Amino acid sequence: MINLILFGPPGSGKGTQAKNLVRRYELLHISTGDLFRYEMGNDTPLGLKAKSYIEKGQLVPDEVTIGMLKNKVDANPKVKGYIFDGFPRTVPQAEALDKLLKGKGQEVTALLALDVDDEEIVTRLLERGKTSGRKDDSNESTIRNRIEVYKSETTPVFDYYAKSDKSQMIKGLGLIPTIAKRLYRVIDKLK
């Protein structure tokens, strides 16, 4: 099994690249952002709880996020591996993921971080906001808040997995297929 964390700031291309990786490696893509948007779209209690945080560009509390992630993993046991996209975003989430996988005799294989600078992110997200219908993409101050949250709460997750030599930085600028090839080169060596 191969379990990847696709890491990087909002707008770094995680979702786009995850789609390529799913095809090539037959992994299950789990995006906590997508799961929250599904819940919000259906006005579920979980969706309603998450909504106020998401619209402000804040993180949804760990216990809510971890519970949702666990349900998704437990509901899909017969897979060749997972691509976690947008999770873990805090060190307690990383610890919970390690525990969850350990209970299944598994572990995180690698964390691959897409490196994109702040101004490029703001440009990309404002552009995406024109068509995505996502409130958190259409307001520049919300976008900048998400970048700050990423720096303060999420980058420690890179260091957490670097301790076991699992974290790698990948240049996230360039054409989509070029970035995909950079990822393939690293992942092919993991298998």
Place of tokens 């929250």: 36
Instruction: Indicate the SS3 state at residue 12.
Output: coil
> Distance between CA 115 and CA 14 in Å, rounded?
11
Closest distance to ligand AMP from the beta carbon of 137 (Å): 9
> Distance between CA 91 and CA 169 in Å, rounded?
18
Residues serving a catalytic function are: 14, 89, 128, 134, 146
Among 8, 9, 13, 33, binds ligand AMP (CB under 6 A): 33
Does position 114 interact with ligand AMP (CB under 6 A)? The reply is no
User: 76-92 b/e with 16+ CB inside 10 Å = b?
Assistant: eeeeeebbbbbbbbbee
By CB under 6 A, the residues from 122 to 161 that bind ligand AMP are 136, 146
End-to-end, the C-alpha distance of the chain in Å comes to 9
Closest distance to ligand AMP from the beta carbon of 42 (Å): 16
Locate the DSSP E strands across 71-172: 82-85, 110-115, 167-171
Minimal CB distance residue for ligand AMP: 33
The 58-97 contact track toward ligand AMP, x by CB under 6 A, reads xxx----x--------------------xx-x---x----
Nearest to ligand AMP of 36, 160 (CB atom): 36
Nearest to ligand AMP of 60, 180 (CB atom): 60
Nearest to ligand AMP of 67, 188 (CB atom): 67
Q: What are the two backbone dihedrals, phi and then psi, of residue 28, each rounded to the nearest 5 degrees? A: -90, 125
Stretch that binds ligand AMP, among 51-59, 75-83, 105-113, 174-182 (CB under 6 A): 51-59
Residues 6+ apart with CB under 8 A from 151: none
Point out which residues bind ligand AMP (CB under 6 A): 10, 32-33, 36, 53-54, 57-60, 65, 86-87, 89, 93, 136, 146
